[in-house]
Structure 1
């Protein structure tokens, strides 16, 4: 406690920042000599600043050295190796082929619905952000809190749709490879 701490902990630091503010924050953090612990869904921001990534999920926690691109390449490679190890069943039977085609159609429909939901949340997020920039609303604290809460809810729901979209896309790719 006799020394000044050399660590910054940031939770979603790029939320609600315009482009210039975000770039200023990135430059300031790049020149910071201490340790940064950043929780963020902003992949570009993470990619620019991170030297190590700690991922916490349902399957546990993991550490990856490097930026987001290195992390993404590694997990993609691991998934690909795991898929190559599993044996691909041969679908010769008419009934199985028809079932597979039906699953592909359903997956494509669900992917399309996810994309529509993502676009809808994009619009809602954009509307909420523009409301937060409205001078009439900026003087109403309760309205700002209400809009900010909605904005965060929209982002959480949009992230869920992105995860679902990714899972469905993976399923579709597997079905199409069979």
Structure 2
């Protein structure tokens, strides 16, 4: 590369006149950054990886870098917090998380807009899901309430029927006990044995009905509560 081409490249990075002949050690921080960019562009690599490329650059150097990268024909992969720089340079944003890398085809403003749309869509789906669950829950609760009411009516009828049967048996028990207290019956051993057997059977039946009555009442109380 001849001196004219070198001066042309350096001129595009704001090096002119005596600046071209300066030693690297005599350059300012901004000038060194511009020189590094010039060398980078001259390498003609097809891939550049840049980490916060605009950090510590003055406005002129940032503009030179942006223009050079816009004209760069290869692929750029860079990390930057400079929103203006990103919007000027990038054509694609890759969002990295611990689980996935998500790609947005556009500049930073498009990325922000699209991300907001996706978040709103996700929230909408959550709201719809919660609404559907609430409807199903309400329907389920309504169905359970109807079944509980039906069971309550069944229990009340069964309890009422048991109480009628228990009252009849209790009446029979009272009659037999009265019979056993009569002198003529008391002296008749065979009759006493017969009545006592009937009495034991009625009492056993009454106890079974009473246990069933208690179980049904307990179930009824649980439904009501």
Normalised-by-shorter TM-score class: 0.3 to 0.5
The structure that is helix-richer by fraction is 2
Q: When you count strand as a share of all residues, which structure comes out higher?
A: 1
Comparing both chains, which one has the higher relative contact order based on Cα–Cα distances under 8 Å and sequence gaps of 6 or more?
Answer: 1
Give TM-score, length-normalised by structure 1: 0.47
What TM-score do you get using the length of structure 2 for normalisation? Answer: 0.37
Structure exhibiting the larger radius of gyration computed from Cα positions = 2
